[in-house]
Amino acid sequence: MTDLARTPKHIGNLIRRTRKKLGLSQAELGDKAGFRQETISLIETGNPATRLETILAVLAALDLEFHVAPRSKDDDAMIEDIF
Amino acid sequence: MTDLARTPKHIGNLIRRTRKKLGLSQAELGDKAGFRQETISLIETGNPATRLETILAVLAALDLEFHVAPRSKDDDAMIEDIF
DNA sequence: GCTCTATATGCGCTATATCCTATAATTCAA
DNA sequence: TTGAATTATAGGATATAGCGCATATAGAGC
């Protein structure tokens, strides 16, 4: 099961969804990833200027990882449903 | 076919590989993505502080996109082979 | 070797991440 | 509804992105 992530908002929503599924607060996730609650808040609200390594650390703390794949028409059809 | 990308270096290598496969110079890719040659250079060498939106724009210029998936044991086995 | 292109590096600039601290605003349960 | 927890926001400090511009290396071909 993989989720498409083309924009910072996609990624933020995905992180928030996963964090809540795991029953974590932003502060708890921040602890696990090595960042502050405020930083998690910014990421989840779609801050486009977040540092790459910060995103990677937060994903890892949620046991997630990025995969890179060709953009596909299937994804285009799916893209509106992400929110 | 998807590629695992757990670190800025993974992502940089992937971008460089794809760019060369497409016969583009760093400057040409920069043009397509809206950034400078120097910025592409930094990304390809694994700069961990690159802005998220910059990475996303460069991936899009290469017709690539991120997917988010659970970290898997299969990935752990594969991880050493990325370089 | 030499030349041309491609890539990496440097400086000064503005913008912003993240930290730290604090607090406002929102959500949720009792 | 109220009180506690959670999330969003703010200001000052430090670090660094990406810009523009310049240049130094590095590579590929002759």
B56 pLDDT above the threshold of 70: yes
A82 pLDDT above the threshold of 60: no
CA distances for A28 relative to A41, A63, B52, angstroms? 12, 14, 23
Residue A60's pLDDT band (boundaries 50, 70, 90)? very high
Q: What is the pLDDT of residues B14-48, one digit of tens each?
A: 999 999 999 999 999 999 999 999 999 999 999 99
Contact with chain B for residue A51, Cβ under 8 A: yes
Residue B2's pLDDT band (boundaries 50, 70, 90)? confident
Region B44-60: mean pLDDT is 97
Query: Burial letters for B49-64: b for 16+ Cβ neighbours within 10 Å, e otherwise?
Result: ebbbebbbbbbbbbeb
Going along chain B from its start, the domains and CATH numbers come out as: 8-82 (1.10.260.40)
Q: What is the pLDDT of residues A18-49, one digit of tens each?
A: 999 999 999 999 999 999 999 999 999 999 99
β strands within chain A, DSSP E? 3-5, 64-70
Shortest distance between the Cα of A29 and any Cα of chain B, in A, equals 16
**Chain A neighbors of B7, CB-CB under 8 A:** 56
pLDDT mean across residues, chain A? 90
